[in-house]
Amino acid sequence: MSRLIEMIRRSALPVNMMRSAALGALSIPEAETIEILVCLAQHPIFGEQARFTLAGWDERSLIRAGQDPATPPEVLDYLSSPENLRPKLLPILLQNPAVPEGRLVELAQSKSRETLTAMLASERAQSLEKVLTALSLNHHLLPPEVAQVEQALARFEPRPATPADDEPITPATPAIDESDADILEIENEIARFQAEHAAEIAAAEAEPFELVDLTEEENREIQQSVASRTPQAAVRGGERRLSTLQKIARLSVGERVQLAMKGNREERFVLIRDGTKIVSSAVLESPKLTDSEVEYFATMKNVTENVLRGIASKRKFIKLYPVVRALCSNPRCPLDVSLTLVKSLMVRDLKDLSTNKNVADTLRKVSLKLFREKSTVKKRE
C-alpha cells in the first residue's frame, strides 16, 4: 500500500490507473481507496476528479475512517478541514484523539451554528483549554453558550495553594498572604513597565482605540459604547451593563497598559489585538499570562507583527515547542522570525509546513529542505 501511494505521489502509475484511482475504481479495500483519493485531491491533473469522488463517497465509510484513531493523519486532516467537513462526521471527528487539537481550535472560530453546537456538545472539545479559549472569543456564540464556555474555562484558572488540613498553624507576626503578595508583584511589574516606557505611553495617548482586523460586530459594540456616553443616553436611564470590549474602548492608553498586565483572560485576549503597540506589548509582560494563552496568541492572524516578534524574542516563550510550531505556521509571522525558528521543528511538522500554502514560498522551500535532511539522518540512525 505504501508503495502504491508513493507511486501515485510521484505520478509514476500509468495514466489509466491514475484515472481509475481518482474515480475510486481500484480493486482495493475502501480505507485504502479513501487514503489514495485524499492523496490525489492535491494532484494538478486528477485532483478535481478525486475531490468530486470524495464528495460523493459513502458516508458510512467516511464515518468509519473518522472514528478510527489509526486512520492516516492526512485523511483525518482532509475530513476535518472546514471546506470538506460533513455535518454527520463532525461529532465523530471531534472525539477522535488523532485529530489534532489545532484543528479543533480552528473549528472553534467557525461562524457555523452547526459546528459551534457540535463543539459545545463534545466532551473532548470541552476538556481542552485552547479550544475553549477560541470558543470564548467567538462572537457567534449565544449568551447561554458563552456562560457555558466561561464555566468550563474556570476549571483551568490557577488556584492559590492552601495549607493541608492537618498542617499545624503556628502563630506568627502579621505577614502578607499569598494573594496580597501576587498583587504586590503585579503592581511592581506595572510600575517598572510604565517607568521604562513612559515616553511611548505619553506619545500614544493621542491615538484612538483601534483593534487589529476589527469585525463589524466589534465595531458596533464600540460605537454603542461611545453613544451610551452622550447626555441623551444618560437621560434615557443611565448606563447599561457594558461588554468587556466597550469598557476597554473607554480607557486611555495608560489605563489599557495597566489592564493588560493585571486584567483577566478575556481582557488580555482583547488587548493583545490593540492597535497601539505599547498596549499589546504590555500583555506579553503580564505576570498572569499562561503558557496556553501565549500559544494561542502565536496562532492568531489578527494581531500585529509586533506581537509575534515579541513572543519570539522571549526565551521563556520560545522554550515551549507548541509556540515555536504555531509561529512558524502563522502566515502573519515575519519571515525573518519564522526562518530562524523553523530549524527547531520536528520532522513531521517540517513536512506539514512544506505543504502549507498559507505561508511564504521561501519558508515552504526551507522546510522541505530541512525535512529531507532530517529524514535522511533519522533513517541512518
**Do both 328 and 362 map to the same domain?**
yes
What integer pLDDT is reported at residue 375 of this predicted model?
Answer: 84
Query: Per-residue confidence at 181, pLDDT binned at 50, 70, 90?
Result: low
Is-contact 265 293, C-beta < 8 A? yes
Domain membership of residue 252 (yes or no) is yes
DSSP letters spanning 294-356: HHHHHH-SSS-HHHHHHHHT-HHHHTSHHHHHHHHH-TTS-HHHHHHHGGG--HHHHHHHHT-
Which of 56, 63, 54 has its CA nearest to residue 94? 63
Band of pLDDT at residue 162, cut at 50, 70 and 90: very low
Note whether 246 and 190 are same-domain residues: yes
248 with 305, same domain: the answer is no
Question: How does pLDDT run across 87-102, given as a tens digit for each residue?
Answer: 899 999 999 999 988 8
109 vs 134: CA distance, rounded Å: 6
pLDDT value at residue 191: 86
- Asked if residue 320 is part of any domain, the answer here is yes
Nearest to 268 by CA among 253, 243, 248, 251: 248
Q: Is the confidence at residue 161, as pLDDT, over 70? A: no
Does 239 lie in the same domain as 323? no
SS3 248: helix
Higher pLDDT, 163 or 378: 378
Judge if 320 and 368 occupy the same domain. yes
Terminal C-alpha separation, the chain? 25
Q: What is the mean pLDDT of residues 114-142?
A: 89
Residue 66 near residue 76 (C-beta atoms within 8 A): yes
Of 51-65, 150-164, 290-304, where does mean pLDDT reach its minimum? 150-164
Domain around 350: 290-381
User: 63-76: buried (b, 16+ CB within 10 Å) or exposed (e) per residue?
Assistant: bebbeeeebbebbb
How distant is the alpha carbon of residue 150 from its chain centre?
17
Shared domain check, 344 and 262: no
- The answer, yes or no, to whether residue 275 has pLDDT greater than 80, is yes
Among 235, 265, 288, where does a domain finish?
288
Q: Are residues 279 and 371 in the same domain?
A: no
Does residue 283 sit in the same domain as residue 183?
A: yes
Write the DSSP symbol of residue 207.
S
What pLDDT was estimated at residue 158? 53
| Contact between residue 53 and residue 33 where contact means Cβ atoms under 8 Å apart | no
What confidence tier does 270 reach under pLDDT thresholds 50, 70, 90?
Answer: very high
Whole-Å CA distances, 14 to 8, 10, 20, 21: 10, 11, 10, 11
Residue given cell 484513531 in the structure block: 69
pLDDT value of position 109:
85
pLDDT at position 380 is 61
Q: Are residues 268 and 338 in the same domain?
A: no
Examine the domain organization and report whether 224 and 257 are in the same domain.
Answer: yes
Beta partners for residue 211, in sequence order? 274
Q: Is residue 267 domain-shared with residue 184, that is, in the same domain?
A: yes
Domain tally, the chain: 2
pLDDT of residue 185: 76
Give the confidence band of 266 by pLDDT, cuts at 50, 70, 90. confident
57-61, 152-156, 293-297: least confidently modelled range: 152-156
303 in any annotated domain? yes
Range 207-220 average pLDDT: 85
Name the nearest CA neighbour of 249 among 280, 232, 271.
271
User: 271 CB contacts (<8 Å, ≥6 apart)?
Assistant: 248, 256, 259, 260, 263, 279, 280, 282, 283
pLDDT exceeds cutoff 80 at 378: no
Does residue 184 fall inside a structural domain?
Answer: yes
Residue 364 has pLDDT above 80, yes or no: yes
The residue-averaged pLDDT of 76-97 equals 91
Instruction: Write down the pTM of the prediction.
Output: 0.60
Q: How sure is the predictor about 381, in pLDDT bands with cuts at 50, 70 and 90?
A: low
Whether 212 has a pLDDT exceeding 60, the answer reads yes
Q: Are 106 and 330 in contact (CB under 8 A)?
A: no
Q: Is position 85 within any domain? A: no
Q: Which one of 259, 288, 317 terminates a domain?
A: 288
Q: Does residue 263 lie in a domain region?
A: yes
* pLDDT confidence of residue 164: 41
Last residue of one domain, picked from the residues 288, 306, 321: 288
Distance CA(98)–CA(65), nearest Å, equals 11
Task: Check residue 203 and give its pLDDT.
Answer: 92
Residue 240: the pLDDT is: 47
- Tens of pLDDT, residue by residue over 46-65, are 889 999 999 999 999 999 99
| Structural domain includes residue 297 | yes
When pLDDT is cut at 50, 70 and 90, the band that residue 234 belongs to is very low
Evaluate whether 335 touches 360 at the Cβ level (below 8 Å). yes
The 10 Å CB-count burial string (b at 16+, else e) for 210-236 is ebbeeeeebeebbebbeebeeeeeeee
Q: Tell me, what's the pLDDT at 102?
A: 84
Q: What is the pLDDT of residue 324?
A: 94
Per-residue confidence (pLDDT) for residue 65, from 0 to 100: 93
pLDDT value at position 379? 59
* In a domain? residue 189: yes
Minimum mean pLDDT among 17-26, 223-232, 293-302: which range?
Answer: 223-232
Does residue 183 share a domain with residue 276? yes
